[in-house]
Amino acid sequence: MKKFGRYFGAGVLILFLALLSGADDGMWMPHQMRDLNLRALGLQMNPDDLYKKDGAGLMSAIINLGGGTGEFVSSDGLILTNHHVAYGAIQRASSKEKDYINSGFLSMTRGEEIPAQGYQAGVLLGYEDVTARVNAYFKRGMTPRERYDAYDKAQKEIIAQGEKAGKDLRCTLAAMYSGNSYYFYTFKQIRDVRLVYAPPQDLGNFGGETDNWMWPRHTCDFSFLRAYVAPDGTAADFSPANVPYKPKVWLKASLEGFKEGDFTFVMGYPGRTYRNYALPELKTDAENMARRIKDTQDIIRFYEEAGRADKEVEIRYAAQVKGLYNGLKNMQGKLEGFQKYDLIGKKGVQEKALLAWINADPVRAKKYGGAPPALEAFLARQKAFGSRTELLNGVLSGSIILSQAYSILRAVDELQKPDKDREQAYQERNLPRLKQGIQLAERGYVFATDKELLKWTIKRLRASHPDEAKWPASLKDLTAGSEAEVASRVDGMYARTALGDPAKRLELLGLKPAQLAAYDDPFFRLAAGMEKELKVVREESKGMGREGADLKMAYESAILEMKEGTYPPDANGTIRFTYGPVMGYQPRDAVTFLPQTTIKGVIEKDTGELPFKVPPKIKDLWKAKDFGPYVDARLGDVPACFLNTTNVTGGNSGSPTFNAKGEQIGIIFDMTYESVIGDYYIIPELQRSISVDIRYVLFVTEKFSGAKHIIKEMGL
């Protein structure tokens, strides 16, 4: 098909693109795609081939990596995702002797691939609307706590029934539109995932935090993983006997290129958006953001100072620091967006329109009129309620050893109950992940640093909460006295504990409550006291949480009726589809950004030092114009990154970007700074997603690293 520009005059094209850029302000569920008229918007493939219930649709190649997205790109289970999505695996495999973060990792044979510790791949097998099944658990006249228990029972029973169909199935139940509908998802959960190739951070994290969330961008943010299963095709833990997984569908990469205005789409697993928040919810988030920014900046400084003197400390906390920086800049962009674009005012206009619609009809007024004020009153009560655990949770988050002790204490108690009566995190289906978390904790902290972190945390909390009389009873023995006395107390706890040994922690997980209570360890004594107080609040919060959920459900029910159901639900970690053209943008007066960057821009940013240190081989290849088949004839260079108007958020990282034919042209890895506010409110002229161009990925894989076997496996 000929491209748009051959048919439209310049003025008509600009108008068309402006309309198209504002057409999609959400993340659509697979069954909603049939109503989007995608052919008219530019899709060239059959829309029915995007998602098929038999697992043969394009969407079946998209993988849930638990907080990120990946995609199958070969018939042998090869997975393409972001470098920053695979970063945890890279960090856990690294040491001072083998620093894969800095130098990268490449396996030339299948036998050299190493476990991606902590990673699992969820292959979507299908999903269905189970609203009627869930609602059958709710009875008229139930209290909020009874409704909480009813929904908890519904989740457990529906999930248990679904997972009986196969030993490697993982099912989830997700509420849409604040609980006005429910959908049930079934995954094949692959537990043996291995690292195949990761570029050095000079490329995979080029630009670092300076460029994070910014445009123009030149980061080659990708890595390759591989999914393995038992010889019979079922999911299994790591074993040399395992074989590569054979997906039904895998993606084809396109080297054809594209230009501004070309239709694109993205499929992935976005985490959370808040576009359907009520006005008081939005105000609460805006109020909390400045404090969260300050807290994040403080903890980053602690980790960085600790890592300067010890390379091992730097490596162990690298993933945490990277995640904190990522979240920090995201929050800064959102707070700036709240103020710059008057989001409170815009949301106020939306809510005023909703209230006017409700009150325009007596039936609607009776049905929905009480929801907005009731929700506002509830949120005020909830805020006061949440402050009761602020100090307990603050101390708990200030030590890996303490949090491990608390997790074991909770687990030992829950494991005495029948499986159906346990908190979901401690059910049998989740125990392997719990045990893995205990083991993998070793790769993400240093014992001596953890001790200093707890001292630092208590010092900060005492400064912000100086009235010791208001501190929880369980913490007073730990936090009373001078700073030197607290430090001495903490030193003594770490000197007397055996919880620095993961084998010991796993052993303690197998004890009975009475045995654990008799075990003499200062962290268990502290955790036990904290749990007495946290348990009371936790039980109260169940009914309160359900009360809030019901009020929000009524509020969003009104929105659904007003909009006649023609809008997508907020993102919640489930598979979504979003579309839009390749397009630049104008963030401020007299500044216009083009939608594509090239390796020329990579070279221009080179300073010889992190985060803008370009590997010499990249410079040599560029100088020699040794681009291979990855050159863009129109640009005369290898394209690096590009923009489109698709609608993504955290969790979409690693999602494939497709052209109109359904071929992969890039990998989503970021949004622009101006569009992070899109989690709350879409501003079409600013909403842009950033992808690394698939040609840059393949150029680095082949020309820079010599991994021709990967290129060949991808069918290129």
The helix or strand, by DSSP H or E, that contains position 505, with its residue range, turns out to be: helix 502-509
- Residue type (1 letter), 53: K
Report d(CA 53, CA 312) in Å as an integer. 48
* Three-class secondary structure of residue 173 per DSSP: strand
Half-sphere exposure of 402 toward its Cβ, with a 13 Å CA cutoff? 28
Catalytic residue among 399, 653, 655, 705: 653
CB 163 within 8 A of CB 171: yes
Q: How far is CA 42 from CA 37, 81, 662, in A?
A: 9, 26, 11
CA dihedral 354, 359, 360, 361 (to 10 degrees): 120
- Looking at residue 176, what DSSP letter applies? E
Residue type, 374: A
At 13, the amino acid letter reads: L
Pairing of strands 591-593, 585-588: antiparallel
Peptide bond into 216 cis (omega under 30): yes
Query: Hey, CA dihedral for 341, 573, 654, 25, is it positive or negative?
Result: negative
The interaxial angle of helices 431-440 and 502-509, nearest 10 deg, is 150
Query: Is 95 designated active site?
Result: no
Contact indicator for 229, 242 with CB cutoff of 8 Å: yes
Q: How far apart are CA 498 and CA 558, in angstroms?
A: 55
| Contact call for residues 345 and 681 (beta carbons, < 8 A) | no
Residue 295 bears catalytic tag: no
Catalytic residue among 21, 84, 178, 202: 84
Q: How far is CA 291 from the centre of its chain?
A: 22
- Residue ranges of alpha helices (H) inside 584-691 are 599-605, 616-623
Name which of 308, 300, 303, 218 is nearest 607 in CA terms: 218
Tokens (6 digits) for 433: 């992940």
* 581 burial level (CB within 10 Å; 0-12, 13-18, 19+): buried
How many degrees, rounded to 5, is the angle at CA 213 between CA 208 and CA 218?
Answer: 55
CB–CB of 645/688 below 8 Å?
yes
Examine the residue annotation and report whether 653 is marked as an active-site residue of this protein: yes
Instruction: Determine which one of 211, 221, 637, 679 is catalytic.
Output: 221
DSSP letter for 175, please.
Answer: E
Compute the residue count for the chain.
716
Q: Which residues are the active-site residues?
A: 84, 221, 653
